[in-house]
Structure 1
Amino acid sequence: MRPPDLRSARRRHRAGPARGRRQSNEIIAFRPLLDPLDLTGAVVTFDALLTQTDHAKFLVEEKRAHYIAVLKGNHPSLHALVKELPWREVDRTRATAHGRDEIRRLKAATVPRLPFPHADQALQIVRRRRTLRTGKVSIERVYAITSLTVHQANAADLAERIRGHWAIENREHHVRDVTFGEDASRVRTGGAPRAMASLRNLAIGALRLAGWDNIAEGLRHHGRDMTRPPAALGLT
């Protein structure tokens, strides 16, 4: 079972400038969205914005779940500590995505007394990407922490879970941001953000089921003929 979409929640909860209306974001929406779910034994993955001590305690102590949390500048001391670990001495796990287009290498190390609730292992993820059109190569290093011990998840297990996280990000959130311009949407009040997110998900899901890997191309194809969208939805 997939967790609720925290990005859509940000838009549902975000208030306008009117006085007295509560401002909100993904951080505030985290607990209310996950609280009703049975997460016992589940592993929740999230990006740096949601790497909060209260979230870690909530997941492990109350929901009996685990987490994999990305570290960035919002935790500068912890990020620096993890970044400066002797990673050259740690064995790596390698995975290839999209053929030769992207290679990911993950290293995991057990670090006693990490200054974050229930953190047991530190992770280094290196992504090497090559743009097929231009041949340009880029390398990105990302650091993370997890409550999973090495006995519960080794480097290969963690790499698989992180690939699953990015599969959702690339196949849904990236499409919604880039193709549908969701982050630039001015629809922010009432139930409209949820409705628009549902419509975007409907369009993406329908195109995926119809065999379209490139959602932008699928939208262009269906936009050229008004009879095609109803047919794709099984309405004709």
Structure 2
Amino acid sequence: MLKGSAREGEAALSFLSVFLHELSLTVAQIPQNGRHEARVLDDMLDTIQRVFGNKWMITLDAAYTESGLTGRIIEAGGAYFVPLKNNTRILKEWAELAFQYPSVMTYQDEERCSGETWIRTTSTQTEIPEDILLTLPAAQTLIRREHHVTHRDGHVTHEVRFAVSSVLLTAREAEDVWRQHWSIENRSHHRRDTIFYEDRCRLRQGAQGLAVLHGILLTLLQAQTRQLTDLVRRLSVPDNLMLAAS
């Protein structure tokens, strides 16, 4: 979801976008216009099918975890990967119960970043409770993702999350999909705001066209360097120097 700043008496502009991980490119986009995200995405499914045919998987946030939308995704020839959070509490409880039995497989990785150590353990279960199948048709894999984070000060945090996919996934595949989904924040949203200041944009006419142009420019720039946001920060000119130059 791309959002711009609000103006007095007006709601902020927001566009629901489909982001293709392989190209780091926004391939479809539609204004939200005050509608729930799930309803906007429903309107985009025909476009997605025309672009990608019948073999694609869409990763979603918990706001989209409902039978109507996931059923439409299956009808359109696609597959889904959706998390189970507190807004789907009953489904989450069923997932917790399912993982009291041995998982089909488990994958673990460790990452050190900015002085922190992350240990992630991803497990999959293919025995899907009936209550989950009634809400999320064609579900084939339950995913449990547990991570321990050791912070710089030695403090340790622990969290367990759950997701469901209509694709039969190994634990390693499930971890890869999950990490790709959350990389959208860094690979698209954060870069759009850092480079193009989209969150502060007050444009109304032509805003959707400008957002599309930003997506294309990002793809071209990212093809040249992986350190795009760091480069932009280094190239930033202090306000006092710009005033002196003028």
Deviation at 1:130, TM superposition (A): 4.0
After TM superposition, the structure 1 stretch with the greater mean CA deviation from structure 2, 88-97 or 154-163, is: 88-97
**Residues 1:148 and 1:55: Cα distance change in structure 2 (over 3 Å):** same
Deviation at 1:88, TM superposition (A): 6.8
Pairing 1:103-182 to 2, within 5 Å after superposition? 103-110=119-126, 111-113=128-130, 114=132, 115-116=134-135, 117-131=137-151, 134=153, 136-149=155-168, 153-176=169-192, 182=198
After TM superposition, the structure 1 stretch with the greater mean CA deviation from structure 2, 98-107 or 204-213, is: 204-213
**Residues 1:170 and 1:211: Cα distance change in structure 2 (over 3 Å):** closer
The 8 Å contact of residues 82 and 122 in structure 1, kept in 2 or not, is answered as yes
User: Secondary structure at the residue paired with 1:210?
Assistant: coil
The 8 Å contact of residues 195 and 232 in structure 2, kept in 1 or not, is answered as no
Report the AA paired with residue 82 of structure 1: A
Deviation at 1:109, TM superposition (A): 0.8
Instruction: State how far apart, in whole Å, the 1-side matches of 2:232 and 2:58 are.
Output: 32
Tell me which of 198, 204, 224 is aligned to 1:209. Answer: 224
Deviation at 1:44, TM superposition (A): 1.4
The residue that corresponds to 1:41 in the other structure is 55
TM-score (norm 1): 0.70
User: Secondary structure at the residue paired with 1:36?
Assistant: helix
The residue that corresponds to 1:2 in the other structure is 20
Which ranges in structure 1 are unaligned for 5 or more consecutive residues? 15-22, 226-236
Instruction: State how far apart, in whole Å, the 2-side matches of 1:131 and 1:201 are.
Output: 37
Deviation at 1:103, TM superposition (A): 2.7
Instruction: State how far apart, in whole Å, the 2-side matches of 1:123 and 1:46 are.
Output: 14
Instruction: State how far apart, in whole Å, the 1-side matches of 2:203 and 2:62 are.
Output: 24
The residue that corresponds to 2:69 in the other structure is 55
Alignment of 1:68 with 2:81, yes or no, is yes
Task: List per-residue Cα deviations over 1:168-223 (Å, max 9, x = no partner).
Answer: 333223444688775x546474431551464377358526723426x1x3222112
The 8 Å contact of residues 56 and 78 in structure 2, kept in 1 or not, is answered as yes
The 8 Å contact of residues 187 and 193 in structure 1, kept in 2 or not, is answered as no
**Residues 1:42 and 1:196: Cα distance change in structure 2 (over 3 Å):** closer
**Which has more strand, going by share of residues?**
2
After TM superposition, the structure 1 stretch with the greater mean CA deviation from structure 2, 43-52 or 196-205, is: 196-205
Instruction: State how far apart, in whole Å, the 1-side matches of 2:26 and 2:215 are.
Output: 13
The residue that corresponds to 1:232 in the other structure is none
Deviation at 1:162, TM superposition (A): 2.0
Number of residues paired by the alignment? 208
Structure with higher RCO (Cα < 8 A, 6+ apart): 2
